[in-house]
Amino acid sequence: MANPADQRFIGLDIGTSSAKGVAVDAGGAVIARASADYPLLTPKPGWTEQNPEDWWQAACEVLKQLIAAIPGPVEAIGLTGQMHGAVFLDAAGDVIRPAILWNDQRTSAACADIEARVGQTRLREITGNPALTGFQAPKIIWLRDNEPEHYARLAHVLLPKDYIRYRLSGVFVTDASDAAGTLLLDLAARDWSEEILAALELPRAWLPDVFEGPEICAHVTAAGAGDSGLPADTPIVAGAGDNAGAAVGGGIVDPDTALVSIGTSGVVFAHSDTASPDASGELHCFCHAVPGAYHLMGVSLASGGSLAWFAQKFAQDEAGVAERLGVNLHGLLADEAATVAPGADDLYFLPYLAGERTPHMDANARGAWIGLTLSHDKRHMIRAILEGVAFSLRDSLTRIEAQRVVPQRLLLGGGGAHSPVWRAIIAAVLDKPVAVQRDQEGPAYGATLLAAVGAGVYADVNAAVAAMVTLPDDFEQPDPELVAAYTPRYETFTRLYPALRDAL
């Protein structure tokens, strides 16, 4: 039997801006990292596209760097990446047009068509989600209605990471967690919904086979090996969508611990042992990368993005100070906010600078400061941003707990997690103990755990997490005084968006 210390696993993440890869051993130690960027295409306002060939070239560059950096064989590789995108292939497997991405907004009419054909309530019952512009199914309908010459050639539709698998192996396969973001998957069956496919008149043959995250579903071909540097016949596991991959890598594989990510967007991700879609459509429900499990997810579109916007537009002086001192600008701004009492002297901020998902599902939602007076200054505005983002995250947690999934503690990831001020605010607003993730390698790291399970090193995902993921020892308890201060303010916050929406 192989020595676990000599076993190597690779995780590859096809992100929106770059391909990122990590190589780890069976104990979870990272041996090598690599990344390669590619461009984002915006041919029209609201459109976002990428060329799948750019993904492939970047993936091969990353894989070659990893292979060169690690000794010994690769036991298996796991794939993860941006969800919801649509790669359109013809019968020869050639790309028909640039891929349409998760943040593309062109498909409003297609969403309305889907809900009219399937029924809004029935769609949520089957898929766990409403029809949103970012999902894959509306992109297929858009292609039918707007580019019929391309639609006529269509033979296969893949998600971004699964295109890389196809180039490595020649196999059309996806995993349940990523497939759940297409609006075509039956959550309970963890397979494509014949009812929805029939209503939308889409052939089942266009869609890849669905596997569970740690299942071996393909092997690297000689051609794939020649391009990527991976050994031929290397096993490939099904992998995960990026949020599920990051959750596995963070140890979010039971209901007790949820993940709160504070990057450009904010995400609250909670494991669920059962499919429990939110009938209102205000919360996402997807399959987890843990076989048979699910996850509930709330998304705030401009969390760290709100602070980054303020820093860019209104904090030039602080930017100069941060550069001279060699400190993080966002941390410096958060420290300024700490000089203001909780509540920012009754100033509120709605962090809807890019519209909003949870709970409003409103692309036209807009940001606002509410309660500005002559006594407020920049520090109050920053504090209101930090608090408003925390309130928006509580919107997600409140709806997760309404589905009877009640996490006892929160792991924080993303850049905002490193601010002690922001951590304390989030702990108090969400009223949960918090800790910063120790290992933040991202979705690619989770993909390596799935690969280790597929290779038979660990019996299941929970065992892999126990062996490979280091969880924090201590969680920061919420300050009772802050909890008492923020509880009534959150109730006021929940009334502000409806009031503005109805007034405009």
Q: Contact 239/289 with Cβ under 8 angstroms?
A: yes
What is the C-alpha to C-alpha distance for residues 137 and 303, in angstroms, rounded to an integer?
A: 27
Task: List the one residue out of 85, 238, 96, 221 whose CA is nearest residue 155.
Answer: 96
What is the C-alpha to C-alpha distance for residues 286 and 284, in angstroms, rounded to an integer?
A: 7
What is the C-alpha to C-alpha distance for residues 468 and 464, in angstroms, rounded to an integer?
A: 6
Q: CB-hemisphere CA count at 13 Å for 48?
A: 15
Is 6 considered catalytic here? no
Q: Whose structure tokens read 């397979």?
A: 191
Number of Cβ within 10 Å of residue 57's Cβ equals 15
Q: Contact 98/41 with Cβ under 8 angstroms?
A: yes
Residue 486 DSSP SS3: helix
What is the C-alpha to C-alpha distance for residues 377 and 346, in angstroms, rounded to an integer?
A: 12
- Those residues whose C-beta lies under 8 Å from the C-beta of residue 376, and which sit 6 or more positions away, are 344, 345, 347
* Direct distance between the N- and C-terminal alpha carbons of the chain, in angstroms, rounded to an integer: 68
What is the C-alpha to C-alpha distance for residues 407 and 201, in angstroms, rounded to an integer?
A: 40
Helices (H) and strands (E) in the chain, counts: 18, 22
Q: Contact 306/229 with Cβ under 8 angstroms?
A: no
* Both structure tokens of 354: 């890019």
Q: Contact 32/70 with Cβ under 8 angstroms?
A: yes
Preceding amide of 359 cis, omega within 30:
yes
Annotated active-site residue in 13, 113, 178, 242: 242
**Count, residues in the chain:** 504
Distances (CA, A) of 345 to 54, 337, 348, 386, 482: 50, 12, 9, 14, 14
> Taking every pair of C-alpha atoms in the chain, what is the biggest distance, in angstroms?
72
* Both structure tokens of 449: 């755990």
What is the side-by-side strand order in the sheet with 235-241?
Answer: 30-37, 18-25, 8-14, 76-81, 235-241, 216-219
Which residues are tagged catalytic? 242
